């Protein structure tokens, strides 16, 4: 069984910063992609950023320059650094990872429970 546990969400003023963390644990053989989606009230879930095991990253065009993603493979942890936050960044942020639980087993998607980020004065 695999678990993804997020931390670091909360309330921040416009212009502020937050760093989200997501740690994967359990029966992990290998992790390929790790990343973040977000979902604001009344909107569809959207990709924020992802990072491959070798370090290549993708960040949503609208967030480039403000958000960065990184990971620590030794800790099975992915981070999302969010700077210059705006009220429009308010959403539930979900961590996900593409994981194999054993040799020869298929890659599967796993999701965290979500962490609330609220940007408000």
What is d(CA 115, CA 113) in angstroms, rounded to the nearest whole number? 7
Split at pLDDT 50, 70, 90, the class of 2 is very high
Mean residue pLDDT of the chain comes to 97
- Pairing between β-strand 115-119 and β-strand 10-12 as defined by DSSP bridges: parallel
Are 6 and 22 contacting, i.e. CB atoms less than 8 angstroms apart? yes
Q: Report pLDDT digits (tens) over 42-63.
A: 999 999 999 999 999 999 999 9
Q: Report pLDDT digits (tens) over 70-97.
A: 999 999 999 999 999 999 999 999 999 9
């Amino acid at each position: 069984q695999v678990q993804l546990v997020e931390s670091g969400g909360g309330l921040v003023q416009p212009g502020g910063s937050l760093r989200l963390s997501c740690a994967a644990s359990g029966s992990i053989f290998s992790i390929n992609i790790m990343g973040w989606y977000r979902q604001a009230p009344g909107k569809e879930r959207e990709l924020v950023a992802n990072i491959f095991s070798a370090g290549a990253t993708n960040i949503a065009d609208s967030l480039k320059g403000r958000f960065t993603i990184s990971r620590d493979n030794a800790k099975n942890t992915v981070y999302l650094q969010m700077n210059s936050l705006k009220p429009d960044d308010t959403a539930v942020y979900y961590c996900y990872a593409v994981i194999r639980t054993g040799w020869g087993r298929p890659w599967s998607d796993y999701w965290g429970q979500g962490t609330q980020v609220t940007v408000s004065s």
